[in-house]
Amino acid sequence: MTVVGARPQFVKAAAVSRALARTGGFDEIMVHTGQHYDDNMSSIFFEEMEIPRPRYNLGIGGGGHGAMTGRQLEQLERVILEQHPDLVLVYGDTNSTLAGALAAAKLHVPIAHVEAGLRSYNRRMPEEINRVLTDHLSDILFAPTETARQNLRLEGITHEGIHVVGDVMYDATIFYRERAREPSWFPDLSIEREAFVLCTIHRAENVDDPSRLQRILSGLRDADLPVLLPIHPRTRARIAESMIEVGANIVLCDPVGYLEMTWLEANCAVVATDSGGVQKEAYFHGKHCVTLRDETEWVELVSLGVNVLVGADSEKIRAAIVARAGKPTVPSVVYGRGHAAGKVAEVLL
């Protein structure tokens, strides 16, 4: 039984589901908690992405962390009791991941965690709490890197269930790269390929703090490059409420689908983001990343020099964008060679 709750998890799960099908011997029951309701999560999403449809959609999203996780835990326990899975597979660091791991652990069902061992060492992030607890509950831990394995060992997780397999997001990037789609409205912007900043901002620490949001937008404005910012309605409302000035070079657009985002990542000059997944995708597409956070779980990217942490410092944001836009990155196999999902399937078999 695979538990997912957000669109990025479906992309990761799709890579593993394809590997499970190729390997054979599995009957996978996919359960979507509904944590992130997304208009793009319609029938066309599953068709275009070639993702198996969830057998269960629990429709649990919204509310506080405790209420959401509790409702998910209750419903996932019900599904486990109905289906009697041999193993529950979870991904990443969402409330859905923790709820799935807790439900399985209390019913004595083995747990496998993909993206185990990541640490930002910022306990104020709910994602950090979710991933730490899930790792300590899991029987099989699929670490994307050696750094992740070392993080687990430092916390006393040293059993034989740890496997360094690489990053399944790299598998997904390779698979969907040829299917990427230029947004229909992009030509109307008169922005040249390889000459714009692709930016995403969604973390509460940035969106809900008017001062931080103002400094981030100021840094983007002063970089003097076109900035394309797919923006969630909630973030747009925060900008309006706080009367934050958006520079003339910053183009706000609605959120885009995964295939369009893949195209934008592949065709931008540099990425600026507070997303964990987009940091890696930037690297997979050969782009430098300017991370609008004070820490990151993907420390390998910082060590490689392809990712720089700038927080909400306007001058650091401007300088990093100017210095890195259009510069090539150094290839590395730190996240594997695109065969992580196959290794996950082999271990599970």
What residues act catalytically? 202
What are the structure tokens assigned to 310, written together? 């700038």
Buried b vs exposed e over 76-113: b needs ≥16 C-beta within 10 Å?
bbebbeebebeebbbbbbbbbbbbbbbbbbeeebebbb
Q: Classify the phi-psi angles of 302: left when phi > 0, otherwise alpha if psi is within -120 to 50, otherwise beta.
A: alpha
DSSP H or E run through 227: strand 227-230
Return d(Cα 59, Cα 37) in angstroms, integer.
8
User: If you write DSSP's letter for every residue of 6-27 in order, what string do you get?
Assistant: SHHHHHHHHHHHHHHHHH----
Q: Please enumerate in sequence order all residues whose Cβ is within 8 A of that of 111, keeping only pairs 6 or more positions apart, or say none.
A: 87, 88, 89, 90, 100, 101, 104, 105, 134, 137, 138, 139, 140
Q: Return the residue matching tokens 């000059």.
A: 269
Number of residues in the chain: 349
In the block, which residue shows the tokens 């706080």? 242
**What count of other Cβ atoms lies within 10 Å of the Cβ of residue 183?**
19
Residue 40: other Cβ atoms inside 10 A: 15
Residue pair 113/134 in contact by the 8 Å Cβ criterion? yes
Check if the beta carbon of residue 317 is closer than 8 Å to that of residue 220. Answer: yes
- Between the alpha carbon of residue 258 and those of residues 48, 141, 164, the distances in Å are 10, 27, 26
Residue 196 tokens, joined: 């714009």
